[in-house]
Amino acid sequence: MELALIQIFNGVQYGLLIFLAASGLTLVFGILGVINLAHGSFYMLGAYLALTLTSLTGDIFLATLLGAPIAVAFGAAIEFLFVRHLYKRDHLQQVLLTFALILIFNETQRILWGSYPHSVPAPSYLSGSISLTGALSYPVYRLALTGICLALAMAMMFVITRTKIGALIRAGESNREMVELLGFDSRWLYRLVFASGTALAAAAGMLAAPVESVYPGVGERVLIISFVVVVIGGIGSIRGAFLGALAIGIADALGKVFLPGFASMMIYALMAAVLAIRPGGLFGRAA
């Protein structure tokens, strides 16, 4: 029972991290219509930014604050240089170009940081564990990570559902032409969405660095799981991505302990079950 509780904690924390990565992917897919295979590379960018900036500042949170604007600028530059040319092209061309970006990013990572795995220390003031029950304790950094991810998720949902820029993003998802007809330059809206998605994925990579090692291709598994989350939640739905990521996180964590032989298939079984009931995902529109 205590093991299950620990795994649920781990699953929620992992799910919230995946939500940060997947929310950017679902916005880019849902609003820009671009299948971005390089999204996992932005997670990797965050992990390596955390490595470098933590070594410079000595604090992962300070590193994350410094890394976020770098990730925004990086995302805006990638959108301007490459992605904006894909909006009117078919998905095959999008996949080809963003796959090429993965190869370029991976090679650049090897040149800049090498091929060895690295670890990023959690801040000393969050080291150790907190006792939950008599025999049950949980790492403080993981709890803090859960709280930060939850706060970011709430802030994002507030922006999307309660602000004018959020309404504009939702409008862009349903009808780009109409957004233009109302006087909004969709080029800037798309750049903003892409840069924000990049920053969210990078933030997940940065915050996760102390609980995972930083290694080449660290974003590739995140990319696959993020796509699963997007499909489960419904393309373009932040609310769907939130619930989908939590479900995936908990299913993955519990599966590893209670169904170890089946663990690697858990998330895909969950996706298949959701699609069988709701082909458009939890909050998506059925095709």
Partner 1 sequence: MSALLEATNIHAGYGAIQILWGVDFRVGERETVGLLGRNGMGKTTLLRTLVGLIDAGPGHIRFAGNDVTHASTAARARAGVALVPEGRGIFPNLSVMENLTLAARAGANGLAEWTVERAFDLFPRLAERRRNWGDQLSGGEQQMLSIARALMTNPRLLMLDEATEGLAPLVRDEIWATLRKVAQAGVSIVVVDKNLDDLFGLADRAVVLVKGEVVFDGAAQALRADEASVHRWLGV
Residues lying near partner 1 in the complex (CB under 8 A):
164, 167-168, 170-171, 173-175, 177-178, 180-186
Q: How far is the CB of 241 from partner 1 (least distance, A)?
A: 15
Q: How far is the CB of 232 from partner 1 (least distance, A)?
A: 19
Q: How far is the CB of 183 from partner 1 (least distance, A)?
A: 4
At position 67, the amino acid (one-letter code) is G
Q: How far is the CB of 235 from partner 1 (least distance, A)?
A: 12
CA 223, CA 212: separation in Å to the nearest integer? 16
Residue 165 vs 272, nearer CB to partner 1:
165
Q: How far is the CB of 174 from partner 1 (least distance, A)?
A: 5
Residue 168 vs 263, nearer CB to partner 1:
168
Rounded to a whole number of angstroms, the distance between the first and last alpha carbons of the chain is 41
Residue 219 vs 234, nearer CB to partner 1:
234
Residue 123 vs 166, nearer CB to partner 1:
166
Estimate to the nearest angstrom the gap between the alpha carbon of 30 and the chain centroid. 15
Residue 142 vs 176, nearer CB to partner 1:
176
Q: How far is the CB of 181 from partner 1 (least distance, A)?
A: 5
For residue 214, how many other CB atoms are within 10 A of its CB?
26
Q: How far is the CB of 96 from partner 1 (least distance, A)?
A: 23
Residue 49 vs 179, nearer CB to partner 1:
179
Residue 139 vs 172, nearer CB to partner 1:
172
